[in-house]
Structure 1
Amino acid sequence: MEKRAKHPVRTTEKSLKVIAELNRRNGARVTTLANELDMGKSAVHNHLSTLEEHGYVVKDGNTYRLSLRFLDIGGQLRSEMDIYKVAEPQVEALAEESGELVHLVVEENGEGVYLCRAKGDQAVDLDTYVGCRHPMHSSAFGKAILSQLPTERVDEIIDQHGLPRVTSETITDRDALFEALERTRERGFAVDGEERLEGLRCIAAPIRFDSDVIGAISISAPTARIDDDWESNEYVEPLRRATNVIELNKYKI
């Protein structure tokens, strides 16, 4: 179920809608925003002017865009996270060892958020970037994290976000997802057999700090380089070693 503020501030809500629309369009004019958001031009202009004054929006001619202030905030937030401090070197090392694309992902509000990525010398170039979000049920990293959460929390996430189909292989049934999470717990890693993107397979392992799951690390590669014989996959042991090092290095912070 979507969380709602008990006493929402309407002006703040409207500013956030303007920000979201600017982000979706990669910039827009006042008229475009007014039409899309069903707001008056003067109201949209007031929101934009305020955001511009505080450095969150920049104006290029008649077009407004989000400023790099958001990058500054996000970068600082990430740099202060313990999991990033200890995991980033292992993400880089695992990408170099495997030659593939490696991601570090954490859960926030029931979604997977990419915290960092590294590309090996034969890695595919996916549509992922630091900060982007993805449903948990249709990815190896998501299932790795979900497998370590209490059943009640998994149910909450499903109720909030549903189980939308991403590809023909995506799990869209609640019982089937819980069965997949049980298999993940048994073998210690999660798999994604073209559930997020056709032609791509992934494996992922959860990262735990003090008995709590705080993220996952994943390896992604084309189906031509990762077959569906998961138990004998050559990337499983390097993945396990990387997560083990990350969990041990937590105690150095």
Structure 2
Amino acid sequence: AHPGRSKGMTSTHRTVTRIVRILETVARSGEDAVGLAALTRELDAPKSSVHGFVRGLCAEGYLLESEDGYVLGPGVAHVLGPAENSVVLLIEDVLEEISARTGETVTVAVRVGGSVVYVHSLPADYEVCYVPRLKVRRPLLPTSSGKLFFALSPKSGDSELFETYDAHTRDRLETELPQIRRTGIAHNRGETVSDVAAVAVGVFIDSALSAAITIAGPTTRTEEHLDHYGSVARSLLDRAGFGREGTRDSCADART
């Protein structure tokens, strides 16, 4: 009915997507600058278009240009706000306790649109362990954290997103959903990486699911302990005020 509007919206979405991908690519590089050629390859877009986006981001302070390329600028920190507000800092004591009690890799995952992103990780005590890549978008399913987001914090458009997964993944999640909703714990038993098993528990702030904590390791060592690890994480989060019944006051106490 409105072909002009549809075309305009598509163009706008593509522009937003490219700008977001530029920022995400530079963020993943840490302190290392990312060159224009690398950004062009990452976006699979014309160099002239990418250069235009980069110039605009530099002008607004979201990127800084160096001899080797581009790094994040002060504008990013301004938008994100004080570091004290981050989920990771709010739950850092809980993360340390979970790590100490399980000995396996402990990771914080957040939902970004139709993807899940690992933003922080504590290493395992073992030489043979799971080492996740941080700040990289990955499909929600079949990750344990993604299952948790689907089950406990559904978003508009999740039904359409769910249909994009293969039948086996959909059937498996539908089977697991009642238990995830009842226990607040989700599992991944070799579904993403064949020899890695994981369990995820939600981090609730003001009654909203803000992140997921996962405990993961080699299947042969961790699979039989997943339920125990999940119970440990859930108990510690509940005690700190970040469980499903957590309150604003308990969250405030955890900051101090």
Question: How does the TM-score come out when normalised to structure 1?
Answer: 0.70
Structure 2 counterpart of 1:83, from 83, 87, 94 = 87
C-alpha distance in structure 1 between counterparts of 2:25 and 2:214, whole Å: 31
More off after superposition, 213-222 vs 71-80: 71-80
Residue number in structure 2 paired with 1:174:
170
Query: Is the counterpart of residue 192 in structure 1 residue 188 in structure 2?
Result: yes
CA offset at residue 78 of structure 1? 7.5
Change over 3 Å in CA distance of 1:22–1:148 after alignment to 2 = closer
C-alpha distance in structure 2 between counterparts of 1:14 and 1:220, whole Å: 31
C-alpha distance in structure 2 between counterparts of 1:83 and 1:21, whole Å: 19
Change over 3 Å in CA distance of 1:215–1:10 after alignment to 2 = closer
C-alpha distance in structure 2 between counterparts of 1:224 and 1:201, whole Å: 9
C-alpha distance in structure 2 between counterparts of 1:101 and 1:75, whole Å: 30
Change over 3 Å in CA distance of 1:205–1:74 after alignment to 2 = farther
Query: Is the counterpart of residue 142 in structure 1 residue 146 in structure 2?
Result: yes
CA offset at residue 193 of structure 1? 0.4
C-alpha distance in structure 2 between counterparts of 1:7 and 1:163, whole Å: 20
Runs of 5+ consecutive residues of structure 2 not aligned to the other structure: 1-6
Residue number in structure 1 paired with 2:229:
235
Question: How does the TM-score come out when normalised to structure 2?
Answer: 0.70
C-alpha distance in structure 2 between counterparts of 1:140 and 1:66, whole Å: 34
Query: Is the counterpart of residue 58 in structure 1 residue 61 in structure 2?
Result: no
Runs of 5+ consecutive residues of structure 1 not aligned to the other structure: 166-170
Residue number in structure 2 paired with 1:201:
197
Structure 1 counterpart of 2:35, from 4, 23, 27 = 27
CA offset at residue 127 of structure 1? 3.4
Residue number in structure 1 paired with 2:19:
16
- Contact 1:203 1:218 (8 Å CA) reproduced: yes
Query: Whose helix fraction is larger, Structure 1's or Structure 2's?
Result: 2
Q: Secondary structure at the match of 2:148?
A: helix
CA offset at residue 192 of structure 1? 0.4
Structure 2 counterpart of 1:67, from 71, 74, 93 = 71
C-alpha distance in structure 1 between counterparts of 2:74 and 2:105, whole Å: 26
CA offset at residue 221 of structure 1? 0.9
C-alpha distance in structure 2 between counterparts of 1:205 and 1:162, whole Å: 24
CA offset at residue 58 of structure 1? 2.6
CA offset at residue 14 of structure 1? 9.2
Moved over 4 A (4+): 4-15, 20-26, 43-55, 74-78, 161-165
Q: Secondary structure at the match of 2:131?
A: coil
Encode CA deviations 1:25-65: one digit per residue, 9 max, x unaligned. 953449x66x95235x5x655554454555514343xx6x3
Change over 3 Å in CA distance of 1:120–1:246 after alignment to 2 = farther
Residue number in structure 2 paired with 1:217:
213
- Contact 2:130 2:218 (8 Å CA) reproduced: no
The two structures, once aligned, show a CA RMSD in angstroms of 4.1
Encode CA deviations 1:52-104: one digit per residue, 9 max, x unaligned. 555514343xx6x3303289639955825363332122112211221111112
Q: Secondary structure at the match of 1:183?
A: helix
Change over 3 Å in CA distance of 1:12–1:101 after alignment to 2 = same
- Contact 1:87 1:246 (8 Å CA) reproduced: no
C-alpha distance in structure 2 between counterparts of 1:58 and 1:227, whole Å: 47
Residue number in structure 1 paired with 2:158:
157
Query: Is the counterpart of residue 93 in structure 1 residue 97 in structure 2?
Result: yes
Q: Secondary structure at the match of 1:120?
A: coil
C-alpha distance in structure 2 between counterparts of 1:110 and 1:59, whole Å: 33
C-alpha distance in structure 1 between counterparts of 2:187 and 2:149, whole Å: 12
Q: Secondary structure at the match of 2:228?
A: coil
**Identity level (%):** 20
